[in-house]
Structure 1
């Protein structure tokens, strides 16, 4: 199977959201509207998804150096670039809103979820790889690295979709809600793509 980039759709979301970055400060409702509060879903999603995205970027750069497969390297590059750009946008909105990038509350509190169970080995949010899994990815090469990356990223995307759907339902800033929905659509497309790539390699997503 030849990999066809799905980053084009994601790029459109980024351009649309970037065009209204300033209006996002005012919740898309014009001047005089108060920006989101530090405890809002808008701020919580921006903080948590920035952390979630950072790990996806790290995983993608790791596998890029562990395989010569053109399709996996292209997918990893697209994921790294798209999520790095989205991460910058989310952190930029926090700056524009005058809100901290770190919260004293556990991740996912804005979705009504508490701290991840003890012993999750560095996995701060649903779908995130553990520290042990990240070390394992960095120790593999070739086909083994490809399969493990595709499995980890599939789980990572599923967790990201869960968070993005939460923002689409709970956030109040129009630009952020649109970005979140764009994440849902793009990452689901990549999950479908990765399922095919895993099948080609005699593997499947992890249960």
Structure 2
């Protein structure tokens, strides 16, 4: 197994799904399955013992569901990146998980090569939602608030973005539009390494956990 392989834990209450994912991912030298769990409670324990880079998390599970498990994982120091497994891209649980800090989602019928690519991208801090899907999900998060709450969230989002430099603000808006690091580098005439550095600064200054939350912040501020 390559030393650079992404360490992954599978959390799904369907043994057949876990077996399928294990077979798909086990054939890639770039991914190492370090643990499995049948529900969120077991998943929290497995993650605590194995310290993976990425967790593939089913949402609808007994005992502790994927949403609660995701929120608990992301509240830990140095948490893994969480990718939600789902059957429907418009699942309300998926929207809530993304708003809570999950790095993206995978449909369970995603092609094997795309699953491996998505895991690698998420481990590297890249977005794994297409711009159209990002926009759809973020609209649902933003529109879920009533007008008073929405106005308050817009003011709070604008205040968080006001902490950014002009260049960081440009990068944040591009993230809100669903752009990849490569796209942002090309459009703003900077290196990918510089884009990554800006994204890291944006995360710290805005108090966001990942690119999806940056995008939500940008949309709530009315900038994308």
| TM-score where L is the length of structure 1 | 0.29
RCO higher in 1 or 2 (8 Å CA, sep ≥ 6)? 1
More helix by share: 1
Structure with the higher strand share, 1 or 2: 2
